[in-house]
Structure 1
Amino acid sequence: MVQVRGLYANIDKEVRDLLYKDFHTGLNCTFSNHVSYGAITHSGRRICDSFVADSKTLLKSEIISDVKAGIDSKTSASMKIEHAPGMKTVFDFFYPDRESGKGMWSGVIVTPSPGAHAHAKTVYLFSSSLVYFVPIFEVQMELQYQTEFVGISSSIGLIANPVVGFSCMFGEDDLSVGTNVSINTATLKLTECKFGLRTFCPRYITSLNLNAKDVTLTASIYHLINCSTYTALGYEFALSPSTHMSNVTVGVQRKLDPFTMVKACVDNFGKVRAAIQRECKWGPKSLLTVSGAVNMMSILKSAKVGLSVAF
């Protein structure tokens, strides 16, 4: 039986994973080394002429630490502290600061030396100086409380004029409701305001999300057809009355055998995506994924192929 998702962000996780996960473009390679107390993961991604790589370290103890560093000089870290069953404090560090994009603030400490006196006014000759650099990074604190029937999360940035966020999800297996609100304390304006509803019955998971800020309504359905082969259908319908735009996406997945999964999806704009994923015997969690995407309105110009290797 599917349990209530503890946090609002996972209200429609099943549909999003079916419709958007594993559809990579370009070349992706991930290498992971898992041990009992953590893991080290190295990954690289190449799209056209650009290349992105990063390294991630996960340490599990009384405090769960997660550090990620990339070749683009961007570094992030996360610390999770569990005070009691279901209650956690999460500290997230980002360098450089995500808002300003700056990583260092520099200054000069000047050491003066007294010089000649003229008209009862001291003249200083600057004989030495020291340049110092102060790192600028962003810190965010989040409090989480999760039980079988309720999940609450509140976050605040530990900077001047931070963004304060609050989300909650409560209910049982068959019905749960929630909200997600964020406020910019500098302007006292809402940066995010969402309301959601999730229902579950055998083989069906439905969700309804209302984005009050952008006036967008999104409805999704996850239909599990066969449990043994993981055959499922996913539907997503998004409507924006303010822009008079609507988007319909339909996807399907199925396991051909215990080690091979295929999935495909199409939307009302003619974009088609497909992927086949094979679990290899190189090691635990070794996956080989081949995917492709094409717009039926312009097949020759929009065709893309992706290859992802994880071991």
Structure 2
Amino acid sequence: MNVSKETKPGRVLVVGSINTDLVARSPHLPRPGETIGGHEFSQVAGGKGGNQAVAAARMGAQVAMVGCVGTDANGAQRVKDLETEGIDCSGIEVHPAQPTGVAMVTVSDDGQNTIVVVAGSNGELTPEGIARHEAAVKACDVVVCQLETPPEAVHATLALARRLGKITVLNPAPATGPLPVEWLPLVDYLVPNEVEAAILAGLPVESESGARRAATELQRGGARNVIVTLGAQGAYLLVDGGEGRHFPAPQVQAIDTTAAGDTFIGTFAAQIAARQSLDNAIGLAQRAASISVTRAGAQPSIPNRAEVDSAA
């Protein structure tokens, strides 16, 4: 694992989902009622929480994870995978009541995907479980959450992190509607994609101007800083105080967009934990995400720091 000499590794805690991804590639995404022939299948490590933890670790951060797996072979393998990345897995609990989470992913030949997630043991994460791992929150610089675990556990994590004075990053994915009003004031960096931003803000997001309007609305709701990722169109940042800026994305030929957003989040969190500037953090996160979309799979697609640096 390579870390630039000018960067002191920070400590990132990811609280979130751990899945096994079942990935099928096909000429196009199936329409409702359509059966099509696929031409490739793989079973790989995934879950937004796990993906983001791996991305942060490959960028040089000291990473710990809090989450839940089942007693099945998938759960044991997912923990082993994370430990191989140097991630502290002492906060991952094993629950016999549910199998380890699974995501069924279809990837078309033009790189687009559809994903159906079965939460399984991810649904066993509770506020009480978060409280058991308060020491892990105390030990970190940045806490990262997503929405693939129960909302009450996410809120408990954000509230605990705020009480302990930690930097909080919320990736509101998957988004199904506006967040509870008490959540946004607990968030230092809210990082939705364009679809999630539109759902959260109740506004269309089809361009930089749409991202600006949505980010402004979310900031009014209490989020300190908002970053709307726009895929090939880059990202829009609205900082605390109202200053906005668009960051163009590197131009690449995408073959699989799975985990691109997670790569961005994990890389961004690692940079913020290392006390890098927002410009540097977003720029590195965009380069990492642009590399990930040129590769297949979730965690297998996430680059390490040396690869990202060489792409600068």
Between structure 1 and structure 2, the one with the greater Rg is: 1
The structure whose residues are more often strand, as a share, is 1
Same fold (TM over 0.5): no
Report the TM-score, using the length of structure 2 for normalisation. Answer: 0.31
Higher relative contact order (CA 8 A, sep 6+): 2
The structure whose residues are more often helix, as a share, is 2
